[in-house]
Chain A
Amino acid sequence: SQQGEEDPQALSIQEGENATMNCSYKTSINNLQWYRQNSGRGLVHLILIRSNEREKHSGRLRVTLDTSKKSSSLLITASRAADTASYFCVTGSNDYKLSFGAGTTVTVRA
């Protein structure tokens, strides 16, 4: 797999607001996955979107995928303090490994 590049590097929002972060990649993919990591903890799988899908929802999460632009976005609606974490996008292929970027650090202020 190849490295996803998240943007912005850091994001600070008020509780209740929406948070949007973007991911870009360079080559063709089979799917793209988003993970969340709370400080010092393991990664939690949030959502997987396949290359033939354009949008996917899971609870307060909405992921879009634009394969023509080689980009994806993750929207968290009505953010909560518990959403404070780092978010990583990772592209999936027939390769055996995941390549992570530096992630987007989201801080939700009470």
Chain B
Amino acid sequence: DAGVTQSPTHLIKTRGQHVTLRCSPISGHKSVSWYQQVLGQGPQFIFQYYEKEERGRGNFPDRFSARQFPNYSSELNVNALLLGDSALYLCASSFGRSSGNTIYFGEGSWLTVV
């Protein structure tokens, strides 16, 4: 079975641009979460979507948005990119919405903002 898949794996954007990152969860998983990991730190929670609705949001500005599609895949959008948005963006999926479920991560999308 395929794991959590993310695309693109690497990308470079210029300050002020917009970026869209994509995630396909494990088949049968209804929950998708997004995390940002800056170099040298642990991942920080951005969003959780469950059954196509936003169920939780971390301490990130409104430039960050996401959505979940009927097939449970998800997109993370970041507008007006800043240098500080350079990070590894991780998508995670689980069957249920609580953190008590085993949560599986994709390989991530490396975003560099120049």
Chain A stretch 40-98: residues in CB contact (< 8 A) with chain B: 40-45, 48, 88, 90-98
CB-based nearest A residue for B103: A98
**A93→B88 contact, CB < 8 A:** no
Task: Indicate if B44 sits at the interface (CB-CB under 8 A).
Answer: yes
State in angstroms the CA–CA spacing of A102 and B90 once bound together: 16
CA A95 to CA B44, docked complex, whole Å:
15
Q: Are A96 and B102 neighbours in the complex by a CB distance under 8 Å?
A: no
Are B42 and A93 within 8 A (Cβ)?
A: no
| Interface status of A99 (Cβ within 8 A of chain B) | yes
Which residues in A have their C-beta under 8 angstroms from that of B110? Answer: 40
Chain A contributes a number of interface residues (CB within 8 A of B) equal to 27
Q: Name the interface size band of chain B.
A: 20 to 34
Determine if B97 is an interface residue (Cβ-Cβ < 8 Å). yes
Report the minimal beta-carbon distance from A43 to chain B, rounded to whole angstroms.
Answer: 4
Contact (A43, B56) CB under 8 Å given A90-B99, A98-B45, A99-B45: no
**Chain B residue, CB-CB nearest to A105:** B40
On whether A33 and B97 interact (CB within 8 A), knowing A97-B45, A101-B42, the answer reads no
Given contacts A30-B100, A90-B99, A103-B42, contact A97 B48 (CB under 8 A): yes
Q: Can you name 14 extra interface pairs (CB under 8 A) apart from A42-B6, A91-B99?
A: A33-B102, A40-B108, A42-B4, A42-B105, A42-B108, A43-B90, A88-B42, A93-B99, A93-B100, A97-B56, A98-B35, A100-B43, A102-B41, A103-B42
Q: Which residues of A contact B (CB under 8 A)?
A: 1, 30-31, 33, 35, 40-45, 48, 88, 90-103
